[in-house]
Amino acid sequence: MQNGGSTVAAARSFNDILKGYKEDGVSAVWRLDFIAATSSGEGQSRTIVRPVGPIGVNLVRASQIAVFGEHVARGEITTAAVDAQIAHIKQLPSSYSRWLALVAAACIAGSLSRFAGGDWGSFGIVLVAAAVGQIVRSLLQARKVPVASVTLICGVLSACIACLGLRLGFSQVASVTLIASVVYLAPGLPLINGFVDVVSHKYLFVGIERIANALYLFLILAIAIALASAVVM
């Protein structure tokens, strides 16, 4: 859940690990802010609540925990080694370096500006705006700043750079330039996970919560563009 996995995938891994422990009668309530697991046995019931914490994107960890859960369910990993293995997975770095993420964000934003009808001036503006914004984004994420705050700060910064480029006359395609400058902040993965959870029917509430959060971030991006336009242009 912390690393960009859907609730469906998280629940599957959770159930796989329970199989390894040969635990039956455990039910879980899934939300974006916490997970509550309740077990019943010998006439007693116990509930454990764990916060999810900040949600980011590290699909290496998400995929590794899924594979790990399958191994535990088949008995290929002893329960004594579960805690150590989970701790190891938590420390796995992303497959992509900070610089590669920066280049990817800039190229995606610049390509979108051209694809949507922007000129080469718009491409250059967007390239710089997205690159600078991605640098600040990575610094804020390293300090575990909440996603909404990161989106607003970086959105305003990138949009201000785009507005400045437009004001200096490097391009006349305003709408495409402004939208493309912040596209690297679009919450695509949360939106996809939200629809996956909704379609599963079992995690409808979490799916709706994910979609609502994604729409909230889109609203923040719109506000960031509006603020930048009001200040710079």
In this predicted structure, what is the pLDDT of residue 53? 83
Question: Residue 43 pLDDT > 80, yes or no?
Answer: no
Taking a C-beta distance cutoff of 8 angstroms, is the pair 6, 191 a contact?
A: no
Question: Residue 106 pLDDT > 70, yes or no?
Answer: yes
Task: For residue range 176-212, list pLDDT tens digits in order.
Answer: 999 999 999 999 999 999 999 999 888 999 999 999 9
In this predicted structure, what is the pLDDT of residue 95? 77
How far, CA to CA in Å, does 200 sit from each of 2, 8, 59, 188, 204?
20, 7, 20, 19, 7
Domain residue limits, the chain: 7-90, 98-232
Cβ neighbours of residue 139 closer than 8 Å, sequence gap 6 or more = none
Task: For residue range 203-226, list pLDDT tens digits in order.
Answer: 999 999 999 999 999 999 999 999
Place of tokens 């899924």: 66
In this predicted structure, what is the pLDDT of residue 187? 92
